[in-house]
Amino acid sequence: MEFRLTNENDIIELQTWFGSLEEVQNWGGSRVRFPLVLEQFKKDIGWNIITSYSMVCNEKLVGFVQVFDKYGYIHIGRVVINPINRGNAFGIKLMEALFQKYKDSNQ
């Protein structure tokens, strides 16, 4: 299991997890447009502005999360697990990896 900064290939894979406007806006908010177009999607989710992390298992993207600092506090947003991996505790593993990363960076 690898927890790392999100790359463009991850974003390409992430797009495939959403099949409708309702799905993507429930996850990403009303500013995310559909159908998903790579450059537009990256802009809509603020990929170049908001720190994004990916969880990868066996070279496959299984989870995605974004974090941002607001008024000196870290906020977690846009968390999603690959639909085919749901129910296997990847959400817990993703959050544990994220918490460990920020715990380690604040020591």
pLDDT digits over 17-35, tens only? 999 999 999 999 999 999 9
Exposure of 34 in the CB half-sphere (CA atoms within 13 A):
16
- Distance (Å, rounded) from C-alpha 60 to C-alpha 42? 19
Among the residue ranges 6-20, 33-47, 61-75, the one predicted with the least confidence is: 61-75
Whether the Cβ atoms of residue 75 and residue 67 lie closer than 8 Å to each other: yes
Is the pLDDT confidence value at 71 over 80?
yes
Is the pLDDT confidence value at 107 over 80?
no
Is the pLDDT confidence value at 98 over 80?
yes
What length does the chain have?
A: 107
